C-alpha cells in the first residue's frame, strides 16, 4: 500500500503501532480507555433507570391495577416513543464521535442543535399516541380498566416525552467527547431528589399514579437543565461555540440519518414492549402483565450495563475511525465484547440462584411472585444474550451502519421472532413463556448471530477511510452550507 496520504496515514500508523493482540499491556490500555467511558456511563444509566424502578415499586404497592397501568404506560406507550427518539438521537453518536476523533471539534455543537430541532419536531408528530392511548389499548383488546387508567397516566407522561428531544442529544454530545463524569454526578443528584419527591407526591399529597408520572418528567427536565448550565458556563469550550443559524442548514440530510438511526434502535427497543402488549390477551392478563413487567424491569436494569458498553464502544469505534485508525477500532470492539460478556455470565448465574426472590422488590402478591418465578430462567437467558448484542450495536453506531442493522432488526425481530412467539404462545398453548421463548430464539439470538457475522467480516481499514471522508463531508457545511443541500 502506497503511503500517499501524508500526515493522515502517519497518524494512523502511529495510533495503531502500540496495539498487540496478545499483549497484556494492550488489553490493559484499551480496557482503561473503555472503562473511562463505560464506568461513568454505567453509573448514569443505572441511576436513571433506577428512577423507573422506584416508579414501578411505588405503583406496585398502590395496587395491581396501578402497577399494570404504570407498566403499560411506561413500558409500552412511553417506551415506544422513547425508542424512536433515542434511536434518532443516536445519529449524534456517529457524527459527534467521528468528528471528535478527527479533531473537528467545532461541529459537535452544530450537530447538537440540529438534533434538538429535528427531535423536537418529531415529538410533536408523536403526540397522538399519548392523547389516544385509552381507545388504542381498547382497540388492541386490553381490559377496559387497565386501558382507562393507562390513558390517564399517558397524558401526564407528555412533559417527559418532550424532555427526550433535548436530554438525549445533550447526553450524546457530552458522551462523544468523553465528558461522562458530569453526567454521572448530575444523575446521582437528581435521583436523590426524585426519590424524595416521588414519596411526597404519592404518600403525602396522595397524587397516586399521576404523581408518579409527574415526578419522572420533572427528573428528566432537571437533568437536562443542569447539563445545559454546565455547557453554557464553559464546560465544553472547544465543542460549544454558542447558538448558530448553521444549525438550520442541512436539516433534511440530518433528518434522514436520524431516521435511519431511529429505525435501527426503535425496532429493537419496541420488541419486548410488544411482548408485554401481547401478554394482555392471555387469561389472568393483569397478573401476567405484572409478572412480565417485573422481569422486563429487571432486564432493563441489568441492560444498563451492556448499554454502557454500547455507549463506550460507539465512542471508541467512532473516535478511532474518525482518526483513521481501523485496527484500533477493531481492537476496541473485541475488548468491549469480552468485558460485557463476562458481566452477563455473572448476572445469568445470580438470577438462576435468586429465581424466587428478586420479585419481592416490586410486589408481595403471591400470584405475581409465582408467575415471575416461572419466567426467571427466560430472563436469565435474555440477559446473557443481551450482554453481547448491544455492544455489537454500539459498533454499528460508531461505524455508521444504522441502515444495515435496521434491516437486520426488522427481519430477525418482526419477520421471525414475533411470529415464532405467537406460534409458541397460542398455537402450542405455552402462554407467556412460549411467547417470550419464541421471541428469544427467533429474535434476540438470531440478531446476535447476524451482528457477529457482520462484525467479523468488517474491513476496518475501509471503514476508517469512509469515516474520514464522512467527517470531511459533514464538516464542509461550516464553510459552505449550500454544499450539503445541493
Alpha carbons within 13 angstroms on the beta-carbon side of residue 176 total: 38
CB-CB contact of 383 with 299 (8 Å)? yes
- Compute how many other C-beta atoms are within 10 angstroms of the C-beta atom of residue 241: 13
CB-CB contact of 395 with 448 (8 Å)? no
Q: What is the mean pLDDT of residues 129-141?
A: 82
- Compute how many other C-beta atoms are within 10 angstroms of the C-beta atom of residue 426: 15
User: What percent of the chain is predicted at pLDDT more than 90?
Assistant: 10
CB-CB contact of 437 with 379 (8 Å)? no
Write down the residue that cell numbers 462523544 correspond to.
176
CA pair distance 170, 220, nearest whole angstrom: 12
Q: How confident is the model over 148-193, as pLDDT tens digits?
A: 878 888 888 888 889 999 999 999 899 888 888 898 899 899 999 9
DSSP-derived secondary structure for 179-241 = --HHHHHHHHHHHHHHHHHHHIIIIIS--HHHHHHHHHHHHHHHHHHHHHHHIIIII-TTT--
Interaxial angle between packed helices 251-279 and 79-89, expressed in degrees from 0 to 180 and rounded to the nearest 10 = 150
CA pair distance 236, 178, nearest whole angstrom: 11
pLDDT at 231 over 90: yes
> Please, which residues have CB within 8 angstroms of residue 293's CB and are 6 or more apart in sequence?
56, 67, 68, 71, 72, 75, 276
pLDDT band at 230 (very low <50, low <70, confident <90, very high): very high
CA pair distance 341, 334, nearest whole angstrom: 11
Alpha carbons within 13 angstroms on the beta-carbon side of residue 235 total: 19
Q: What is the mean pLDDT of residues 340-366?
A: 86
DSSP, res 358: G
Write down the residue that cell numbers 407526591 correspond to.
201
DSSP, res 282: S
pTM above 0.85?
no
Report the run of H or E that residue 158 belongs to, with start and end: helix 158-176
Query: Which residue has better confidence, 77 or 347?
Result: 347
> Terminal CA-to-CA distance of the chain, rounded, Å?
34
pLDDT at 454 over 60: yes
CA pair distance 70, 209, nearest whole angstrom: 7
pLDDT at 320 over 80: yes
- Compute how many other C-beta atoms are within 10 angstroms of the C-beta atom of residue 63: 13
CB-CB contact of 423 with 438 (8 Å)? yes
CB-CB contact of 184 with 43 (8 Å)? yes
CA pair distance 60, 69, nearest whole angstrom: 10
CA pair distance 96, 474, nearest whole angstrom: 10
Domain ranges of the chain: 20-479
DSSP, res 360: G
pLDDT at 486 over 60: no
CA pair distance 186, 479, nearest whole angstrom: 36
pLDDT band at 18 (very low <50, low <70, confident <90, very high): low
Q: How confident is the model over 348-357, as pLDDT tens digits?
A: 999 999 888 8
Amino acid at each position: 500500500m502506497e503511503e500517499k496520504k501524508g500526515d493522515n496515514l502517519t497518524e494512523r500508523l502511529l495510533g495503531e503501532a502500540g496495539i498487540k493482540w496478545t499483549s497484556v499491556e494492550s488489553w490493559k490500555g484499551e480496557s482503561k480507555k473503555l472503562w473511562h467511558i463505560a464506568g461513568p456511563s454505567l453509573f448514569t444509566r443505572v441511576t436513571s433507570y433506577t428512577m423507573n424502578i422506584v416508579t414501578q415499586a411505588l405503583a406496585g404497592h398502590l395496587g395491581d391495577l396501578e402497577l399494570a397501568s404504570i407498566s403499560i404506560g411506561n413500558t409500552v406507550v412511553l417506551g415506544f416513543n422513547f425508542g424512536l427518539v433515542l434511536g434518532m438521537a443516536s445519529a449524534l453518536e456517529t457524527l459527534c464521535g467521528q468528528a471528535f476523533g478527527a479533531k473537528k471539534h467545532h461541529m459537535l455543537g452544530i450537530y447538537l442543535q440540529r438534533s434538538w430541532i429535528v427531535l423536537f419536531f418529531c415529538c410533536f408528530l408523536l403526540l397522538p399516541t399519548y392523547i389516544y392511548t385509552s381507545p388504542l389499548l381498547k382497540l388492541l383488546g386490553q381490559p377496559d380498566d387497565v386501558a382507562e387508567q393507562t390513558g390517564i397516566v399517558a397524558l401526564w407522561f407528555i412533559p417527559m416525552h418532550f424532555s427526550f428531544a433535548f436530554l438525549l442529544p445533550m447526553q450524546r454530545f457530552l458522551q462523544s467527547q468523553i465528558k461522562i463524569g458530569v453526567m454521572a454526578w448530575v444523575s446521582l443528584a437528581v435521583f436523590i431528589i426524585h426519590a424524595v419527591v416521588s414519596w411526597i407526591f404519592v404518600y403525602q399529597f396522595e397524587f397516586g399514579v399521576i404523581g408518579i408520572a409527574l415526578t419522572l418528567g420533572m427528573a428528566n427536565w432537571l437533568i437536562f437543565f443542569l447539563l445545559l448550565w454546565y455547557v453554557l458556563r464553559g464546560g465544553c469550550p472547544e465543542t460549544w461555540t454558542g447558538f448558530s443559524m448553521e444549525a438550520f442548514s442541512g436539516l433534511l440530510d440530518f433528518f434522514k440519518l436520524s431516521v435511519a438511526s431511529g429505525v435501527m434502535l426503535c425496532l429493537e427497543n419496541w420488541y419486548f414492549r410488544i411482548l408485554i402488549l401481547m401478554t394482555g390477551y392471555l387469561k389472568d392478563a393483569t397478573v401476567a402483565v405484572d409478572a412480565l413487567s417485573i422481569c422486563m424491569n429487571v432486564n432493563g436494569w441489568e441492560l444498563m450495563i451492556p448499554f454502557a458498553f454500547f455507549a463506550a464502544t460507539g465512542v471508541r469505534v467512532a473516535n478511532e475511525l474518525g482518526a483513521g485508525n481501523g485496527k484500533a477500532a477493531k481492537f476496541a470492539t473485541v475488548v468491549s465484547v469480552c468485558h460485557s460478556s463476562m458481566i452477563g455470565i455473572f448476572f445469568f448465574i445470580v438470577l438462576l440462584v435468586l429465581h424466587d426472590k428478586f420479585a419481592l422488590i416490586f410486589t408481595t402478591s403471591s400470584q405475581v411472585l409465582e408467575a415471575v418465578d416461572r419466567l426467571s430462567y427466560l430472563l436469565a437467558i435474555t440477559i446473557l444474550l443481551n450482554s453481547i448484542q448491544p455492544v455489537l450495536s454500539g459498533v454499528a453506531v460508531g461505524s455508521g451502519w444504522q441502515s444495515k442493522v435496521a434491516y437486520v432488526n426488522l427481519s430477525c425481530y418482526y419477520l421471525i421472532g414475533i411470529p415464532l412467539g405467537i406460534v409458541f404462545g397460542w398455537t402450542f398453548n405455552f402462554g407467556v413463556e412460549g411467547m417470550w421463548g419464541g421471541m428469544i430464539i427467533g429474535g434476540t439470538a438470531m440478531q446476535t448471530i447476524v451482528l457477529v457475522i457482520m462484525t467479523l467480516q468488517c474491513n476496518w481499514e475501509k471503514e476508517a477511510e469512509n469515516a474520514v471522508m464522512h467527517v470531511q463531508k459533514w464538516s464542509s457545511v461550516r464553510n459552505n452550507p449550500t454544499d450539503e443541500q445541493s
